[in-house]
């Protein structure tokens, strides 16, 4: 079976431009996960520059149903993770390892990462970050799905939306769509690395 990662990296480059940094992390018993950093200039002073971090390696294997007796080495959902934050407002470069941890979770914990899921790294995403968890959003907006030769499933590029602890707790009760509706109603800047929790009353 052809290696999908060169195709995945090519799709990331075509959508986000050339990466200006990359780092690799290997966890015991897992394949290497790389995190690529892309810098996008804002179209206006108000918009500001945006830094995007994308994983590379999570899609090398399909995610397996944790209840299945035997993992299918070919079929199953494939994904990479994409996080977008405003540049220059926080030390977000330290998010590389937490992102790699999340990208390795299907291999390590046998979970399927899909839109609507909440992922928690148990520590701030970067030094001083008010977030330790993320909401997995719907793919397709920033980086289009990468179709692979049959019978492989396409690779989906899943945006990650940082959640404060209060937002994560509220999401567990009310669901991801309700939290996203709150963000939208209040005009929350989800790329602000220092934002406060959205009003939840």
Sheet containing 133-136: which strands, arranged edge to edge? Answer: 21-25, 33-40, 50-56, 78-86, 155-163, 133-136, 118-120
From first to last of its 201 residues, the chain has per-residue pLDDT tens of 458 999 999 999 999 999 998 988 887 777 889 999 998 775 554 556 899 999 999 999 898 876 666 666 678 899 999 999 998 888 888 899 999 999 998 888 888 899 999 999 999 999 999 999 999 999 988 899 999 998 889 999 999 999 999 999 999 999 999 999 999 999 999 999 999 999 987
Nearest to 27 by CA among 100, 80, 87: 100
Beta strands 50-56; 78-86: pairing state? antiparallel
CA distance 187 to 162: 15
- Model pTM? 0.91
Beta strands 50-56; 33-40: pairing state? antiparallel
CA distance 60 to 104: 11
């Amino acid at each position: 079976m052809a290696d999908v990662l060169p195709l995945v990296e090519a799709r990331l480059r075509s959508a986000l431009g050339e990466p200006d940094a990359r780092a690799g992390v290997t966890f015991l018993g897992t394949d290497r996960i790389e995190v690529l950093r892309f810098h996008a200039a804002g179209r206006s002073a108000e918009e500001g520059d945006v830094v995007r971090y994308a994983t590379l390696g999570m899609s090398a294997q399909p995610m397996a149903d944790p209840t299945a007796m035997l993992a299918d080495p070919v079929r199953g959902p494939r994904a990479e993770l994409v996080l977008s934050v405003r540049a220059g407002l926080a030390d977000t470069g330290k998010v590389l390892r937490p992102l790699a941890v999340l990208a390795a979770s299907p291999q390590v914990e046998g979970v399927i990462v899909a839109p609507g899921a909440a992922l928690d790294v148990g520590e701030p995403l970067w030094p001083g970050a008010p977030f330790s968890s993320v909401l997995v959003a719907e793919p397709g907006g920033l980086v289009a799905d990468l179709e692979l030769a049959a019978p492989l499933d396409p690779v989906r590029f899943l945006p990650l939306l940082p959640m404060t602890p209060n937002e994560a707790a509220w999401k567990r009760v009310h669901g991801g769509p309700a939290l996203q509706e709150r963000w939208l109603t209040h005009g929350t800047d989800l790329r602000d690395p220092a934002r406060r929790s959205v009003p939840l009353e």
